């Protein structure tokens, strides 16, 4: 029988409000994707923890439009993490306090983003090579909030000895400062999304800090991938990113296998239509109908491969730009039931 996925460390009483989690499967903070609709629909399929898309500390403190849309909350979407990114420890602490005041259940600090523009502004993965700044940032955030604090990292800036030493210094100090969890992507910052993710570092962190809640990430595109990571690394949970965009049913499938059940059949046409239409309606509450149609285009393009008319549907999503297009697409491609789609 599956056990609870996380230990609630004694260093933080607040962690008991979030950990232990009921299952190991969580949604990553996907920039441009982890909005209200994505989070709520993935949760309905088995995601036990969601993270909204990363927000800059400056946007939070200035109350910019981008930050407001990114922090749209729904009571059923609990627990939810606020993921923050910045380069100034003091501002990060202030922003973390603001996000908690808005209702977030935990704060996640991004030390893993490999995007060139982010690195050029000394944020995200850049800070894996600046342990003093990273550690001060963790301290400021930890002091500013009463909810659990977690961090997101990659296995290092690169595979050099210096980068490895910097990685372990940040991890060890984070634990000492009361961080309750870490999500580790199996690629280096320099790799970005190229090559294969190496999961060894995930296992090493769990062995070194057995009471730390460790989430693994990287190359999780099927339920079998998720179960294999849990088994190979001993991590407490997995953070599913790109695999959930194209196939949010990965949560349902992973949960069944974890419970020792048969893997569910792939989603039928009706199930696909109902889920993406529900996600669209949630997007309307966040963006309004016209912007929601454009926002849903990228989800539909990714998921078209599940449909028997994949090429036609893909093109229809590319053309999607307004509310009338959405209704026409739903009527043409999802109005009738069919047999289960082949994987």
Q: Residue 198: what pLDDT?
A: 95
Are both 168 and 291 inside the same structural domain? no
pLDDT of residue 182: 98
Domain residues for 313?
269-334
Last residue of a domain, one of 238, 259, 280: 259
> What is the pTM for the complete model shown?
0.90
Binding residues for FMN: 83, 152, 185, 241-242
Binding residues: 83, 152, 185, 241-242
Residue 99 has pLDDT above 90, yes or no: yes
- Domain assignment present for residue 9? The answer is no
- Same domain for 199 and 151, yes or no, is yes
Within 13 Å, how many C-alpha atoms sit on residue 134's CB side? 30
Same domain assignment for residues 211 and 142: yes
pLDDT for 323 equals 84
In SS3 terms, 77-128 reads as CCCEEEEEECCCHHHHHHHHHHHHHHCCCEEEEEECCCCHHHHHCCCHHHHH
The pLDDT, as a whole number, for residue 46 is 97
Contact residues for 325 (Cβ-Cβ < 8 A; gap 6+): 293, 319
Q: Average of pLDDT values for 112-128?
A: 96
| Averaged pLDDT for residues 10-22 | 65
Together in a domain, 205 and 78 = yes
pLDDT(324) > 70: yes
For the stretch 153-193, pLDDT in tens is 999 999 999 999 999 999 999 999 999 999 999 999 999 99
For residues 247 and 289, state if they share a domain: no
Let me know whether 274 and 250 are in one domain.
Answer: no
- Is there a domain that residue 94 lies in? yes
Mean pLDDT (the chain, rounded)? 91
pLDDT band for position 237 (50/70/90)? very high
- The one catalytic residue among 42, 48, 59, 113: 113
The domain that holds 137 is classified in CATH as 3.20.20.70
The answer to whether 113 is a known catalytic residue is: yes
Q: What is the DSSP letter of 194?
A: -
């Amino acid at each position: 029988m599956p056990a609870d996925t996380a230990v609630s460390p004694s260093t933080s009483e607040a962690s008991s409000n979030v950990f232990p989690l009921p299952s190991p499967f969580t949604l990553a903070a996907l920039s441009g994707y982890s909005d209200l609709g994505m989070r709520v629909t993935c949760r309905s399929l088995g995601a036990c923890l969601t993270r909204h898309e990363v927000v800059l500390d400056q946007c939070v403190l200035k109350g910019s439009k981008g930050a407001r849309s990114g922090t749209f909350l729904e009571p059923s979407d609990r627990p939810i993490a606020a993921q923050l990114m910045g380069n100034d420890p003091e501002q990060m602490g202030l922003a973390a306090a603001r996000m908690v005041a808005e209702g977030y259940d935990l704060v996640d600090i991004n030390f893993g983003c490999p995007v060139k523009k982010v690195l050029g502004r000394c944020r995200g993965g850049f800070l894996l090579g600046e342990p003093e700044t990273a550690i001060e940032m963790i301290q400021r955030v930890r002091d500013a909030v009463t909810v659990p604090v977690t961090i997101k990292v990659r296995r290092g800036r690169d595979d050099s000895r210096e980068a490895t030493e910097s990685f372990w210094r940040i991890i060890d100090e984070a634990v000492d400062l009361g961080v309750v969890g870490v999500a580790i992507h199996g690629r280096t910052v320099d790799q970005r999304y190229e090559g294969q993710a190496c999961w060894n570092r995930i296992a090493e962190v769990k062995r070194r800090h057995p009471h730390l809640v460790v989430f693994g990430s990287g190359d999780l595109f099927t339920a079998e991938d998720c179960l294999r990571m849990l088994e190979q690394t001993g991590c407490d949970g997995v953070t599913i990113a790109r695999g959930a965009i194209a196939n949010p049913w990965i949560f349902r499938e992973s949960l069944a296998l974890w419970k020792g059940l048969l893997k569910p059949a792939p989603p039928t046409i009706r199930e696909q239509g109902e889920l993406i239409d529900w996600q669209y309606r949630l997007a309307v509450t966040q963006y309004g109908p016209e912007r929601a149609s454009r926002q849903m285009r990228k989800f539909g393009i990714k998921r078209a491969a599940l449909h028997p008319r994949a090429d036609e549907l893909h093109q229809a999503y590319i053309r999607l730009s307004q509310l009338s297009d959405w209704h026409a697409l739903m009527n043409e491609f999802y109005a009738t039931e069919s047999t289960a789609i082949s994987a």
